[in-house]
Structure 1
Amino acid sequence: MNSIMERWIQACRQELLDRTLIWNHVHLIHALREYEHHHNQHRPHRGIANARPLRPLPEPITGPATLTRLHVHRHDRLSGLLHEYKNTA
């Protein structure tokens, strides 16, 4: 358990806290909740097949016709500090 928490703290510090000015504890809690949601819901992990902890991997897109019609939508979190990408129809 120690190594899991050390990895989470390191990632949180590198991706969030080293790039952000925190003004008060309310701002800190908001930033940490946003990062936690990003970390658990969207960000791929180095574990089993890059699976996110709370959701299975989507089916891979392999058809050449489908690849040429991809539309990628970007969603910014924390005023653009974190970016999330997904395919749109």
Structure 2
Amino acid sequence: MNEHHLRAVLDRYVTHYNHRRPHRALQLAPPRPDHPVPQPAHTSIRRRPVLDGLINEYEPTAA
């Protein structure tokens, strides 16, 4: 790989880390959400791989 690839991967990781990951001190809310945080009333969850599966994001879906 090269520096451009490394920067792209790190940018994607930083976005995930700051906008999507759950944070225990915030009652599992992301530090700076980039979308509304859904309420836990949903019954099914969809997994979305990030960075080719290095990280997984989970989103509730309407049942």
TM-score (norm. length: structure 1): 0.56
Task: Note if contact 2:38-2:60 (Cα within 8 Å) is conserved in structure 1.
Answer: no
- For residues 2-46 of structure 1, give each alpha carbon's deviation from its aligned partner in whole angstroms, at most 9, with x where no partner exists: xxxxxxxxxxxxxxxxxxxxx210111011011011101111123
Deviation of 1:57 after TM superposition, in Å, equals 5.0
Larger radius of gyration: 1
Query: Aligned pair 1:33/2:6, yes or no?
Result: no
TM-score (norm. length: structure 2): 0.74
Runs (4 or more) in structure 1 with deviation over 4 Å come to none
Deviation of 1:53 after TM superposition, in Å, equals 1.7
Where relative contact order (Cα < 8 A, 6+ residues apart) is larger, the structure is 2
- Aligned match for 1:46, one of 24, 40, 44: 24
Percent identical among aligned pairs is: 40
Measure the CA separation in 2 of the matches of 1:49 and 1:72: 18
- Aligned match for 1:81, one of 45, 54, 63: 54
5+ long unaligned stretches in structure 1:
1-22, 62-68
Query: Structure 1 pair 88/59, CA: closer, same or farther in 2 (3 Å)?
Result: closer
Q: Which structure: greater helix fraction?
A: 1
